Amino acid sequence: MLLCTARSLPVASPRATVRLGVQDMEGTGPETGGQVFDPIGLSKIASSETLAWYRAAELKHGRIAMAAVTGWAWVSSGGPLFPGYISVEQGITFESLGRDGYAAWDATPENGKAQILGIVGLLEILGESAIKPHYMAGGTPGKIPLLWDPLGFTAKLSSEVLAEKRVSELKNGRLAMIGVMSLVSAHFIPNSVPLLP
């Protein structure tokens, strides 16, 4: 567990300058009146390094939420499940886990949970250490060389189109975070979210 502590992660050089200010951040649009969405004023008390960290966290959580909403929709709508065993020794198949995500997590063997959490931790460490320059030292928040566009689909895009796609990802991630919270609420509190069973 020591590998996942903050002390084990690389630290940005104190000599590096960060040029990110709230006025320079992507994500403004007609939805927010042309302003950066900051309803509780965090940008007024945060340094530019902290703003970069906030944005990187927002992008990361948005990406996870987009995957969660997609997975939730796939499984709950009857999409096919993985064939085979999740644990041969215990006789647990992927299909036997069912379509309820919380019950499936409870039924997943402890070794499987450890593997999932280990991969997530490894991706986090690799993502934080592979970014050059780091987003807190002037790099682009959310740009992870190991995971961002490994097939080079965006290499031919102009900088304007690429900026538009980054803003789309940010806004879709924000919507997905709201969506996944709606799905969780509907799961635990019946009839709490209109139009969801």
- 83 phi/psi in degrees, rounded to 5: -80, 165
Torsion, CA 40, CA 43, CA 46, CA 47, rounded to 10: 180
Binding residues for chlorophyll a: 43, 58, 169, 172, 174
Per-residue pLDDT at 15: 45
Q: What is the pLDDT of residues 154-184, one digit of tens each?
A: 888 898 998 888 889 999 999 999 999 999 9
For 13-17, 47-51, 69-73, 110-114, which range has the lowest pLDDT when averaged over its residues?
A: 13-17
Long-range contacts of 58-64 (CB under 8 A, 24+ apart): 58/170, 58/173, 58/174, 59/141, 59/142, 59/169, 59/170, 59/173, 60/142, 61/173, 61/177, 62/169, 62/170, 62/172, 62/173, 62/174, 62/176, 62/177, 63/169, 63/173
Binding residues for chlorophyll b: 61, 63
- Give mean pLDDT, residues 53-64: 90
* CATH of residue 93: 1.10.3460
Binding residues: 43, 58, 61, 63, 169, 172, 174
| Residue 99 covered by a domain | yes
- Cα–Cα dist 105/124, whole Å: 21
Place 63 in a pLDDT band, splitting at 50, 70 and 90: very high
| Residue 97 covered by a domain | yes
Per-residue pLDDT at 106: 92
- Cα–Cα dist 184/101, whole Å: 10
Q: What is the pTM of this model?
A: 0.78
Question: 28 or 82: whose pLDDT is higher?
Answer: 82
Cβ neighbours for 43, distance < 8 A, ≥ 6 positions apart? 22, 36, 51
Run of H or E including 120:
helix 110-130
| Residue 120 covered by a domain | yes
Q: What is the pLDDT of residues 93-102, one digit of tens each?
A: 989 988 888 8
Place 4 in a pLDDT band, splitting at 50, 70 and 90: low
| Residue 152 covered by a domain | yes
| Residue 14 covered by a domain | no
Task: Provide the number of structural domains found in the chain.
Answer: 1
| Residue 5 covered by a domain | no
Per-residue pLDDT at 14: 46
Q: What is the pLDDT of residues 104-152, one digit of tens each?
A: 999 999 999 999 999 999 888 877 877 777 777 777 777 776 666 778 8
| Residue 64 covered by a domain | yes
| Residue 11 covered by a domain | no
Percent of the chain predicted with pLDDT > 70: 84
**Residue 141: domain span:** 44-188
Q: Which residues pair with 92 in a beta bridge?
A: 87
Asked whether 126 and 132 are in contact (CB, 8 A), the reply is: no
